Amino acid sequence: MTMLPASVLASEASLPAMASPAPSFQAASIIPLRVKAAEEEIAALRSSLVCALNQLLDLKDLNTGVHSTRLAEWALHVAGELGLNQSELADIEVAALLHDIGKVGIPDAILNKPSRLTAEEYELMKKHPEYGWVVLRQIPGFERASLLILHHHESFDGKGYPGGLRGEEIPVGSRIVSVIDAFDAMVSSRPYREGLPFDEAARRLTQGSGTQFDPDVIKCFLPLARAEMSAVFAAVGATVSGAI
Ligand SMILES: [Fe+2]
């Protein structure tokens, strides 16, 4: 006859029923690892996809190489200063890198035209944000970034396209890309024209603050661009004081 107290006997009696703690403990520790591995796989896939699409832009001569990476860095910096969260930053990075992906659908004769576009050609060119949205929204995980791309040519005063959205109706990521894209276009040299010096580009951005551009974005971006202007201008093949 056992001398053990009844409470111990009861706990021993319950042991068979608890014989499965080991598997459930294992499952509990394996599930987070599997989730983490799946998340890493998705992040790697997402990154490869962005690289592949960037190469497509290169083939169409729509990229400025190293400069597009710098654009994404600027966009992330401005977004961070505006207090946006990690998920928004990830969408903004994709939008900054691929905002003009829709230009793949624009005829080369229009894209590379050295002279002014006709009204009809300009209307066609204005389709590129919608084309980019249509492509990117098909990819799981890129839905929000596709919306930023759709609205990257909206104007703060409502006079942009395609939606004619105004002020904070425009997604903040689109407002950021709009400023950075405009600055890039101003300072970059093209076969048919030289890029603007930094001070002139900064003056034009300031002039457009509150009309074309979000004033808060301009306020964050200009000091950053000024601080980095030597590297920035080296990347676009120009000097700080004027294009080469
Ligand atoms: Fe664009």
CA of 79 to the centre of ligand 1 (A): 19
CA of 152 to the centre of ligand 1 (A): 7
Radius of gyration of the chain (CA): 26
Domains and their CATH numbers in the chain? 64-235 (1.10.3210.10)
Structure confidence at residue 232 (pLDDT) = 59
CA of 126 to the centre of ligand 1 (A): 8
Under-70 pLDDT residues of the chain? 1-26, 62-67, 230-244
CA of 103 to the centre of ligand 1 (A): 8
CA of 99 to the centre of ligand 1 (A): 6
CA of 115 to the centre of ligand 1 (A): 18
Write the pLDDT tens digit of every residue in 86-124: 999 999 999 999 999 999 999 999 988 888 899 999 999
CA of 100 to the centre of ligand 1 (A): 5
Structure confidence at residue 37 (pLDDT) = 87
